[in-house]
């Protein structure tokens, strides 16, 4: 595979960087009768996003640093075979219910529902075969925008209602990946979607625990959702002040990731949900991530009420599961996730914003990852 040379556009010195674009031919196969492929979106400034319609997984994201050098800042795989044997959430658009539902059960309109369980007896990210394991239908695509569709059958993984969902990936000219989605159902149900990209702004080749820990993170939240020992929210919100979860001002991630505090020690680091400081349904900033050595900055914007910060503790360097692009092995905390969504276990917790979707309604959401640089 040949390395490519890119012009970073106006306003920069003639700085370039070589990297290996993923090969689309390595993503072409058929899964359960549905064809898979690799797709590329880009803008005039050199930003590129490559994704496969298997799980709508973002596998490569190219953005500049402060000197205009382009690099890949997400973790991912370089063939469909590695995608299928890899971490199922890596880069995925997650549904039909992101996060955990306790004991795989909830009640709606007086009826009890039993779901597929796949995480210590609980339902995680849609169950045994949520969207992470499904092939999306790409219904339209151009140079910078792709629209995908996925329909969940009534009763699939135990969820009620035939749920028709659409998700759009768009690369904008101001170096953002804008993700919008919508869903409708023919019966009362619950829905929760998010993007599960793993980021490391140092660049894919440098992705390890050291570089991940050297990021500065700001989360625009004064409270977090309290969990039990199995990371199931109990409906209570607590103050972040004085805890390892206090990212109200920029904080180096590694400074408290291994603090002797049950909040992080019990979960192997960060896997927590922040209650965002903005009105319910308002589109606003949720987090800012920065890597000072190269100046890359990523802002996360959304209209969701919560943000899950996952520090990548489940990356263990296991082969083939954690063997990424170019043979890079993803060890502990090589990348991190910032996932805007509703609170986990919301169907069982009336204190949290409702995730109920009824016939005739359209549930919509938006997540934006906006890239820039700092001196």
Please give, one letter per residue, the 3-state secondary structure of the chain: CCCEECCCCCCCCCCCCEECCCCHHHHCEEECCEEECEEEEECCCCCEEEEECECCEEEEEEEECCCCCEEECECCCCCHHHHHHCCCCCCCEECCECCEEHHHEEEECCEEEECCCCECCEEECCCCCCHHHCECEEEEECCCEEEEEEEECCCHHHCCCCEEEEEEEEECCCCEEEEEEEEEECCCEECECEECCCECCCCHHHCCHHHHHCCEEEECEEEEEEECCCCCEEEEEEECCCCCCCCCCCEEHHHCCCCCCHHHHCCCCCEEEEEECCCCCCCEEEEEEEECCCCEEEEEEECCCEEEEECCCCCCCCCCCCECHHHCECCCCCCEEEEEECCCCHHHCCCCCCCEECCCCCEEEEEEEEEEECC
Burial class (CB in 10 A: 0-12, 13-18, 19+), 260: exposed
CA distance to 2, 68, 83, 215, per residue, from 23 (Å)? 10, 24, 13, 30
- Pairing state between β 296-302 and 363-373: antiparallel
Catalytic option among 156, 170, 209, 339: 339
Report the distance separating Cα 173 and Cα 45, nearest Å.
7
Q: Examine the residue annotation and report whether 196 is marked as an active-site residue of this protein.
A: yes
Q: By C-alpha distance, which of 97, 275, 54, 68 is closest to 189?
A: 97
Q: Which listed residue (196, 204, 272, 342) is catalytic?
A: 196
Q: Is 125 a catalytic residue?
A: no
Cβ-proximal residues to 230 (8 Å cutoff; 6+ apart), any chain: 120, 122
Catalytic residues: 196, 339
């Amino acid at each position: 595979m040949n390395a490519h040379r890119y012009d970073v556009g106006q306003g920069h010195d003639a700085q370039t960087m070589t990297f290996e674009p993923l090969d689309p031919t390595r993503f072409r196969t058929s899964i359960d009768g549905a064809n898979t492929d690799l797709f590329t979106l880009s803008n005039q400034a050199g930003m590129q996003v490559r994704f496969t319609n298997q799980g709508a997984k973002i596998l490569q994201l190219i953005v500049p640093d402060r000197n205009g050098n382009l690099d890949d800042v997400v973790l991912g795989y370089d063939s469909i075979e590695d995608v299928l044997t890899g971490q199922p959430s890596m880069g995925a658009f997650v549904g039909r219910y992101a996060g955990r539902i306790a004991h795989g059960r909830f009640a709606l309109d007086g009826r009890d529902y039993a779901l597929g369980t796949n995480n210590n007896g609980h339902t995680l990210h849609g169950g045994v075969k949520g969207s992470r394991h499904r092939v999306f239908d790409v219904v339209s695509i151009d140079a910078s925008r792709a629209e995908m569709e996925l329909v969940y059958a009534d009763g699939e993984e135990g969820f009620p209602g035939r749920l028709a969902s659409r998700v759009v990936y768009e690369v904008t000219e101001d170096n953002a990946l804008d993700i919008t989605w919508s869903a409708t159902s023919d019966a009362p149900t619950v829905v929760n979607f998010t993007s599960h990209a793993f980021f490391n702004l140092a660049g894919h080749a440098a992705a390890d625990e050291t570089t991940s820990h050297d990021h500065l993170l700001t989360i625009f939240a004064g409270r977090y959702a309290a969990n039990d020992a199995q990371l199931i929210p109990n409906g209570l919100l607590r103050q972040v002040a004085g805890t390892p979860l206090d990212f109200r001002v920029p904080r180096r991630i590694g400074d408290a990731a291994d603090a002797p505090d049950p909040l992080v020690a019990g979960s192997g680091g960060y896997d927590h949900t922040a209650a965002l400081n903005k009105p319910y349904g308002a589109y606003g900033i949720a987090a800012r991530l920065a890597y000072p050595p190269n100046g890359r900055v990523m802002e996360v914007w959304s209209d969701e009420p919560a943000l899950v910060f996952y520090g990548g503790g489940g990356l263990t360097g296991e082969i083939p599961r954690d063997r990424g692009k170019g043979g890079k092995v993803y060890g502990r905390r090589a990348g991190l996730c910032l996932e805007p969504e509703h609170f986990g276990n919301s169907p069982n917790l009336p204190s949290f914003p409702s995730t109920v979707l009824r016939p005739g309604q359209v549930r919509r959401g938006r997540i934006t990852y906006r890239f820039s640089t700092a001196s």
